[in-house]
Amino acid sequence: MQINKLDVYGTSLRYYDVSKYSWMPYTIRIVMESIARNIDGKSITEDDLNTIIGWEPNNAVEVPFKPARVIMQDYTGVPALVDLALMREIVAEHGLDPKIINPLVPVDLVIDHSVQVDHWASNDALALNMRLELERNRERYEFLKWAEQAFKNFRLFPPGTGIIHQVNLEYIAKVAILDSSTIYFDTCLGMDSHTTMINGLGVLGWGVGGIEAEAAVLGQPVSIVPEVVGVKLYNQPREGITATDIVLTLTDVLRRHNVVDKFLEFFGDGLYSLSVPDRATIANMAPEYGATAALFPVDDETIKYLMLTGRDERHVDVVKAYYKAQGMYGSSNGDVHYSKIIEFDLSSVEPSIAGPSLPWERRTFKDVYDGILQLTKGRSASTLVRVDGEDHTLADGSIVIAAITSCTNTSNPYLMVAAALLAKKAYELGLRVPRYVKSSLAPGSRVVESYLARAGLLHYLELLGFNIVGYGCTTCIGNSGPLPAEISDAIRRNGLTVVAVLSGNRNFEGRIHPDVRANYLMSPPLVVAYALAGRIKDLSKEPLGYAKDGSAVYLRDVWPSSKEVEDLMSIISKDDFARYSTLGDLIPEWDRIKVKASNLYEWDDANTFIKRPPFLDDFDMAADRVKSIRDARALLILGDNVTTDHISPAGPISPDSDAGRYLISLGVNIARLNTFGARRGNWEVMVRGTFTGRIENKMLKHRGEVKKGGYTIHYPSNEVMSVYDAAMRYKREGVPLIVIAGKNYGAGSSRDWAAKGPKLLGVRAVIAESFERIHRSNLVEMGILPLQFMDGASADTLGIRGDETFDIMLDDLKPRKVVELVVHRSDGSVARARLLARIDTEMELRYYMAGGILHYVLSTLMNSLQ
């Protein structure tokens, strides 16, 4: 590939020129440049470059890809860094320098998942929640501070900074990276599903499992099969339509086009009506419509945003010059060869809401209550509840949580200003949020607070109870905190189906709060509107409430016009984004956490957050780990849409759970059990929490048992017990385990513990009708074999009840090989089925044969030095 020079500001920069491949999608050209620049003859070769040069729209091929950088959040980042600390220990035990385990690409970790909404609707909510966050997570934060001094190429953003993806968008991303005398595309892998948000800025990036990200951090490429779909946007959104409405509609449409695992590229005249924050809102939800990435082009909007957010002016000029030199500035205008083109009319979008449990379950105002009817099966229940001295009726459909939260929408100034304007109009008319609604505002960065305060609008959100509670994911990740005791009691006592409304991207049942069955995604202004209404209803014709004079107030009466919002947005300037330069001054408590500097981490048995994991206890560079699975038992038989939240919950740890009892046995106070998300650095906690979400094990159903959650049947004893207890018993008995599931297994967040937990339980394989992309690869990377039913077979068609034993023959395993499942029934009969081994690439096969990606990377590094 030709290397050219780009002369800017008197400096000559080398770059790998991909401009002559103008018929190729931007995604392919970005990957091509990365391959050309990273050829080392081992992990990336000239053959790989020739392969990507020969890319064809309908013949996607496997290629290796090395990102320019990696970004982490604390929930997934802590266990990844724990693994790196473990790898350093193993290296040292083999007489090598532990510092060979070190990030080879820049790594940023943003602490954003730890803050919980314990205090709300008060001026001191932020300070109190921050104080609790630092108290609860001190041991984790001490570990992260150790990592900050131990690893090079590692930068840590303290709690209270903002949400990982918003910080990435507003501050971290460079769009083009200058390294010495070379310039290249900014690309990013993230340890969070919604890393795709950065695609809105023209940066190619996507979420991977924590295990895969660890390999990327250590210089290993990830394998991708880039099939690129073009999405042509045309016309403009109608007045009053928000970016949230657009993305919820697109999510519905794109899922019907089956863009799972595809790379999307947006083009067309409709782009020009979308700002970078609008584009980022759309790109953020790529995991919900199933795409790997959703790239927008670098154009004038990108340049304008970079300038607004305070990026160096000279660097912005270089970005523009580089993309023009590469022939990639502006929309492709359809002159690119895509595998498929989907057209989307922006003017067709209407106000949209998603729920009550799936982000692609789009609804309009008219049918929003149908979601409640589906859950209640038409039943209607209600009760009186007394809150703060007032009596209120709490019923099916009542809203008990209203949260403006999540990177998806708080990154978008238009949406935030619209929410605040709606709050102002409603307050001035006399509308108030009912006291049973837990309202909260969790901006994605300090920037949001800055411009809302300067616009005089933050005050009105606060008057309605939307006080700032923290700068993090909060409610969207399940850190919604407790409901008032009287509310929880009323819900449980009466079996009420109550509601959370949030401006997030995930609303799976059980994710937001254990007492809240129905969760609806919507724009920030609609969160405020529904909070005022107090219940789910058709806001196109039913009033929000009543004004001081008793007259009905409708949504149309308080909905701000585009001009009103844009006039106020004009006050936003680069001065608001300058707050990133003073982060250290904003959280003084952070600097008070001191740690001892060392290259090796000193494991502390008293630390209940960080514990040395056993993943490499069987490390052997010469081991052959591909063995057939014989006489296995089913640990669980599950249905469709089992999410990573179901497999490895992130929410509160119950004191009567296996994990809770374990922590209490160590002397942890019940009030400080914290969440599974916060304790991901302690494998003892996480393995006990695996498969304890709101799952329904069909093994129990076949027996007529009504237990839900983490229970199974141990065979041949026929005893009902917790999944953890059964797995440990099988382990003592030397019995391998499998999990059987339906369609879309592993949907949701890129949660590494959803693969690590089953590994530690002794699960050798997962057999499902289909898999979510990231989770499937995570299973392989932990040495668990994903197998897919073929020929329309399923657990139901095979009559599997759970008391069978299973054989899976794995002789001469290859990518996507068809293998045989042999089912031995208790009556002596035998059933057989064909399974597709979902090891999709040669690189994945190497990982699996080594026992997992950690084993592979460690042995590769150590072999290179011996």
pLDDT digits (tens, 9 = 90+) for 682-708: 999 999 999 998 899 999 988 887 788
Average pLDDT, the chain: 94
**pLDDT at position 678 over 80:** yes
Comparing CA positions, the residue from 285, 242, 276 lying closest to residue 528 is: 242
Are the folds of 69-331 and 353-583 the same? yes
Tell me the CATH architecture of domain 69-331: 2-Layer Sandwich (3.30)
Coil, helix or strand for 644? helix
Between these two residues, 245 and 380, which has the higher pLDDT value? Answer: 245
Q: Residue 794 in contact with residue 691, Cβ under 8 Å?
A: no
Between these two residues, 438 and 224, which has the higher pLDDT value? Answer: 438
Is the torsion defined by CA of 642, 643, 649, 654 positive or negative? negative
Residue 674 CA, distance from chain mean position: 20
Q: What is the pLDDT of residue 803?
A: 96
What's the start-to-end Cα distance of the chain, in Å? 34
Cα Rg, the chain, nearest whole Å: 26
Q: How many residues in total does the chain contain?
A: 866
Q: Which of 264-278, 390-404, 663-677 comes out lowest in average pLDDT?
A: 663-677
> What is the amino acid identity at position 358?
L
How large is the average pLDDT for residues 704-732?
Answer: 93
Q: Could you tell me the residue ranges of all domains in the chain?
A: 3-56, 69-331, 353-583, 629-648+695-865, 650-689
Q: What is the pLDDT of residue 343?
A: 97
Q: What is the pLDDT of residue 1?
A: 87
Q: What is the pLDDT of residue 703?
A: 83
Q: Find out whether the peptide bond into 57 is cis, omega within 30 degrees of 0.
A: no
Q: What is the pLDDT of residue 478?
A: 87
Q: Which string of DSSP letters, residue by residue, matches 554-569?
A: -HHHHPPPHHHHHHHH
Q: What is the pLDDT of residue 481?
A: 93
How large is the average pLDDT for residues 599-626?
Answer: 89
Quote the CA–CA distance of 129 and 125 in Å, as a whole number.
6
**pLDDT at position 621 over 80:** no
**pLDDT at position 583 over 80:** no
Quote the CA–CA distance of 380 and 372 in Å, as a whole number.
10
Between these two residues, 76 and 795, which has the higher pLDDT value? Answer: 795
Q: What is the pLDDT of residue 588?
A: 75
pLDDT, tens digit (0-9, with 9 covering 90-100), for 822-857: 999 999 999 999 999 999 888 889 899 999 989 998
How large is the average pLDDT for residues 442-447?
Answer: 95
How large is the average pLDDT for residues 13-37?
Answer: 97
Q: Residue 164 in contact with residue 192, Cβ under 8 Å?
A: yes
What confidence tier does 668 reach under pLDDT thresholds 50, 70, 90? Answer: very high
**pLDDT at position 582 over 80:** no
535 - beta bridge partners? 398
Q: What is the pLDDT of residue 130?
A: 92
Answer whether 0.75 is exceeded by the pTM.
yes
How large is the average pLDDT for residues 289-303?
Answer: 96
Q: What is the pLDDT of residue 210?
A: 82
Q: Residue 65 in contact with residue 221, Cβ under 8 Å?
A: yes
**pLDDT at position 624 over 80:** no
Tell me the CATH architecture of domain 629-648+695-865: Alpha-Beta Barrel (3.20)
Residue 373 CB contacts under 8 Å (≥ 6 apart), including other chains: none
Q: Distance of CA 102 to CAs 111, 152, 214, 684, 857, Å?
A: 20, 7, 10, 26, 12
pLDDT, tens digit (0-9, with 9 covering 90-100), for 647-660: 999 888 999 999 99
Q: Residue 344 in contact with residue 253, Cβ under 8 Å?
A: yes
What confidence tier does 865 reach under pLDDT thresholds 50, 70, 90? Answer: confident
Residue 355 CA, distance from chain mean position: 18
Quote the CA–CA distance of 302 and 304 in Å, as a whole number.
5
What confidence tier does 864 reach under pLDDT thresholds 50, 70, 90? Answer: confident
Quote the CA–CA distance of 568 and 590 in Å, as a whole number.
34
Q: Supply 65's token pair.
A: 């890809």
Q: Residue 421 in contact with residue 565, Cβ under 8 Å?
A: yes
Largest CA distance in the chain: 83
Q: What is the pLDDT of residue 840?
A: 87
What confidence tier does 623 reach under pLDDT thresholds 50, 70, 90? Answer: low
188 - beta bridge partners? 69, 205
How large is the average pLDDT for residues 470-490?
Answer: 93
Residue 706 CA, distance from chain mean position: 31
pLDDT, tens digit (0-9, with 9 covering 90-100), for 362-378: 999 999 999 999 999 98
Q: What is the pLDDT of residue 841?
A: 82
Q: Distance of CA 772 to CAs 267, 349, 409, 504, 838, Å?
A: 27, 28, 24, 20, 11
pLDDT, tens digit (0-9, with 9 covering 90-100), for 747-758: 877 688 999 999
> What is the amino acid identity at position 211?
I
What confidence tier does 584 reach under pLDDT thresholds 50, 70, 90? Answer: low
Residue 488 CB contacts under 8 Å (≥ 6 apart), including other chains: 482, 515
What confidence tier does 581 reach under pLDDT thresholds 50, 70, 90? Answer: confident
Q: What is the pLDDT of residue 750?
A: 67
CATH class for domain 353-583?
A: alpha beta
Residue 390 CB contacts under 8 Å (≥ 6 apart), including other chains: 435
What confidence tier does 556 reach under pLDDT thresholds 50, 70, 90? Answer: very high
Residue 672 CA, distance from chain mean position: 25
Q: Supply 403's token pair.
A: 């949260």
Q: What is the pLDDT of residue 866?
A: 67
Residue with tokens 């609303």: 507
